[in-house]
Amino acid sequence: MIKHKTRPNKRLNMFRVGIAVALLLLAGRIVYVQAIPNSSYAKYGQQEQQVLVPVSPLRGDIYDRNGQIIAMSVGTKTVVADPKNVTHPMSESEKLSSLLNLNQSQVYHQLTQKNQFDYVDQQISLSLAQKVVALNLPGIATINSATRIYPTSTLLESLVGRTDINGNGISGLEKQYNSLLGGSPGYDEILTSPVGELPGGLHVLQPVKNGKGLVLSLDQSLQLRIQELLTKQILATDSLSGTAAVMDTRTGEILAMDSVVSVNHITSNIPSNMILGQNNGSYVLPTSDPMALTFVYEPGSVMKITTFSGALENGIITPQTQLNIPPYLTLFGYRFADAEPHGDETLTAAQVLQQSSNIGTIEIAEKLGAPMVYHMQSLFGFGHLTGLSFPGESAGILKPLSQWSGTAIGSTPIGQDTGVTVLQLLAAFNTLANGGVYITPKLVDGIVNSDGSVAKTSPSPTKRLIPEWVDQEMISMMKGVVSNNGTAPLAAIPGYQVAGKTGTAQVPGNGTDQYLPGKFDATFAGFAPANNPALTCVVMFQEPNGYYGGSESAPIFSQIMQYALHLYHIAP
């Protein structure tokens, strides 16, 4: 009985000893795994990484005033790498470089970096991204991205601008409204291992916020018509460039604004669809430079509207005031003359403006006085930004009175020694069209929200510059400019009354006080219908062969305005 009773106790003790040994072995194994940093288990654990991946927002679209798309973002994919999870960088770089048409050494370099996140290729097509995923390469993944496309190509590039590879606006409206269009990036956290992304390993840390869109005041059809007419005239006159802009008189909305340039040669990488026209070795191309806002030039006689407005308001003249006009006028040893030689003659103030007499204008300016001449030019916006807030816009050049020479009272009133932009002229002439009230130019009519609704932008700020009665007398005199006795009968529009002013300006030499012989810039600025203005337009050609504003720019003004008046169903 005793032997029978002790055998189970012996077995029990042996069992207890076995358990103790097993526990000791397990504890030792746990210590080994946790405490030994160089073990394969530690290495494997370290390769399970939480990768923080930025998610690019979808940039807002841009539309013209008719809802036609100008700029849009389309979905793409970006290939990224987690070098710590790349197991065979050489073979993976071979496969990726072959598929993506990249330099293998560069890809290899990206796959062997010490950082946890690196771009391999950006903005690839969705179909190509599927092929990358199908390779099933450890440490390689694709994330959502977007690329910017412009369906109208270069038609509105100078104003709309462009984005860089990262989707940031670098010029034009894309830059001006970058924060609104760009939205806010999101961030995802991805748990990865040597065999790729772990199931359920994606966590959205910060949701992406897509950008809002813009509705512009621009009209693509009018823009295209302007481009065609500028191209045709540049080829006909051998001009260096041509610029034109049209504004809605009452709202300040810029309906179209474009520039084209002439070059003597083109490089092989310029696509054929960018060549707008060619003749005798000259090529006309669109430009990404918004020259209406950036190109500064001496305007010539279009500037006379400021002196005449000031003289009328201050009682210096009436339209019927008679002035004696000699063949020339000498100031401090400098001779001023009119475009056409003449003897002594008598002209009314209205005729002085109608025929663009430099001598008559200087006589009026001398009576008005230099301080008031300067004040009126500044009042009309010259020497100041227009308020459009466009990137790179120039304020032009308006010398302070302290820098005026003895001849400045002769040169400044006739548009010399002063630098302006086409946009400044457009806003100034629009003031006369708008009853003497300056209205700030605008390009953006509405903001497109995420739900597709459009929030209208605020009306442009306005400011009265001259009394309405002065404005009406100015318009009456400017009608004469477009008559058969004026300098711009070619600006006339069948069935409509037109008011405007020509400008034929000598081109100053670079870094000198001298003008280039035989070089002129030609401008016409005006509005229609003159009795109830609806549209204001400026046309300028740089160094045309014919050089007169009345012969080179006025006809293009007429054709642009005919198209625009009919396009918007504006009655005479």
Segments making up each domain of the chain, as ranges: 220-567
DSSP-assigned letters across all residues of 539-570: EEEES-SS--IIIIIHHHHHHHHHHHHHHTT-
103 sits in the region (left: phi over 0; alpha: psi -120 to 50; else beta) called beta
Instruction: Look at strands 213-216 and 62-63 and give their pairing.
Output: parallel
123-160 pLDDT, tens digit per residue, is 888 999 999 988 989 888 888 788 889 998 789 999 99
What pLDDT shows up at residue 193?
A: 58
What pLDDT shows up at residue 12?
A: 36
What pLDDT shows up at residue 461?
A: 97
Tokens of 240: 């260096």
What pLDDT shows up at residue 49?
A: 62
What pLDDT shows up at residue 25?
A: 39
- Rounded to a whole number of angstroms, the distance between the first and last alpha carbons of the chain is 132
Q: What does pTM read for this prediction?
A: 0.84
Tokens of 75: 């979905």
Tokens of 497: 């009354």
Average pLDDT, integer, range 344-356: 97
| 370: nearest Cα among 341, 340, 413, 314 | 413
505-542 pLDDT, tens digit per residue, is 999 987 667 899 999 999 999 999 999 999 999 999 99
311 sits in the region (left: phi over 0; alpha: psi -120 to 50; else beta) called alpha
Task: Write phi, then psi, for 374 (nearest 5 degrees).
Answer: -65, -45
What pLDDT shows up at residue 18?
A: 44
Q: How confident is the model at residue 22 (pLDDT cuts 50, 70, 90)?
A: very low
What pLDDT shows up at residue 117?
A: 77
Average pLDDT, integer, range 385-398: 97
Average pLDDT, integer, range 37-59: 59
Average pLDDT, integer, range 22-31: 39
Name residue, tokens 């008598």: 346
Q: Are 399 and 418 in contact (CB under 8 A)?
A: yes
What pLDDT shows up at residue 305?
A: 98
Name residue, tokens 């099933």: 136
484 sits in the region (left: phi over 0; alpha: psi -120 to 50; else beta) called alpha
H or E, element range at 519: strand 515-528
Q: Are 255 and 246 in contact (CB under 8 A)?
A: yes
Instruction: Look at strands 345-348 and 62-63 and give their pairing.
Output: unpaired
3-state helix, strand, coil in the chain (%, to 5): 35, 30, 35
Q: Which of 181-190, 371-380, 528-537 has the lowest mean pLDDT?
A: 181-190
461-481 pLDDT, tens digit per residue, is 999 999 999 999 999 999 999
What pLDDT shows up at residue 7?
A: 38
Residue 420 CA to residue 292 CA, distance in Å, equals 10
What pLDDT shows up at residue 455?
A: 97
What pLDDT shows up at residue 6?
A: 36
What pLDDT shows up at residue 26?
A: 38
More confident of the two residues 4 and 112: 112
Task: Using alpha carbons, list the distances in angstroms from residue 156 to 15, 234, 240, 287, 424.
Answer: 88, 19, 20, 9, 20
DSSP-assigned letters across all residues of 69-104: EEEEEEEEEEEEE-GGG-S-HHHHHHHHHHHHT--H
Residue 564 CA to residue 556 CA, distance in Å, equals 12
Q: Which of 103-107, 183-187, 204-208, 532-536 has the lowest mean pLDDT?
A: 204-208
Asked whether the predicted pLDDT for residue 39 surpasses 70, the reply is no
Strands (E), 96-230: 118-124, 140-149, 186-193, 196-206, 213-216
What pLDDT shows up at residue 512?
A: 65
H or E, element range at 43: helix 40-46
- Each as own residue / partner, the long-range contacts of residues 126-134 (CB below 8 Å, 24 or more positions apart, any chain) are 126/75, 126/76, 126/77, 128/77, 128/99, 128/100, 129/76, 129/77, 129/79, 131/99, 132/77, 132/79, 132/96, 132/99, 132/100
Q: How confident is the model at residue 179 (pLDDT cuts 50, 70, 90)?
A: very high
Q: What CATH number does domain 220-567 carry, 3.40.710.10, 3.40.50.170, 3.40.50.720, 1.10.260.40?
A: 3.40.710.10
Q: Are 493 and 558 in contact (CB under 8 A)?
A: yes
Question: pLDDT > 70: what percent of the chain?
Answer: 88
| 286: nearest Cα among 259, 263, 268, 306 | 259
Asked whether the predicted pLDDT for residue 50 surpasses 80, the reply is no
What pLDDT shows up at residue 436?
A: 98
Task: Classify each residue of 51-65 as buried b or exposed e, where b means 16 or more C-beta atoms within 10 Å of its C-beta.
Answer: bebebbbbbbbbbbb
Average pLDDT, integer, range 202-220: 88
User: One-letter amino acid identity for 93?
Assistant: S
| 65: nearest Cα among 246, 201, 244, 203 | 246
532-564 pLDDT, tens digit per residue, is 999 999 999 999 998 899 999 999 999 999 999
Query: Residue 359, Cβ neighbours under 10 Å: how many?
Result: 23
Residue 400, SS3 per DSSP: coil
Asked whether the predicted pLDDT for residue 417 surpasses 50, the reply is yes
What pLDDT shows up at residue 208?
A: 81
84-129 pLDDT, tens digit per residue, is 888 898 999 899 999 999 999 999 988 998 777 788 998 888 999 9
What pLDDT shows up at residue 395?
A: 98
Question: pLDDT > 90: what percent of the chain?
Answer: 69
Residue 8 CA to residue 355 CA, distance in Å, equals 132
What pLDDT shows up at residue 207?
A: 83
More confident of the two residues 430 and 3: 430
What pLDDT shows up at residue 142?
A: 85
Sheet holding 282-286, edge to edge: 277-279, 282-286, 254-263, 241-248, 535-542, 515-528, 499-508
Asked whether the predicted pLDDT for residue 303 surpasses 70, the reply is yes
More confident of the two residues 266 and 96: 96
Average pLDDT over the chain, rounded to whole?
88
| 177: nearest Cα among 458, 394, 443 | 443
Residues in the chain: 572
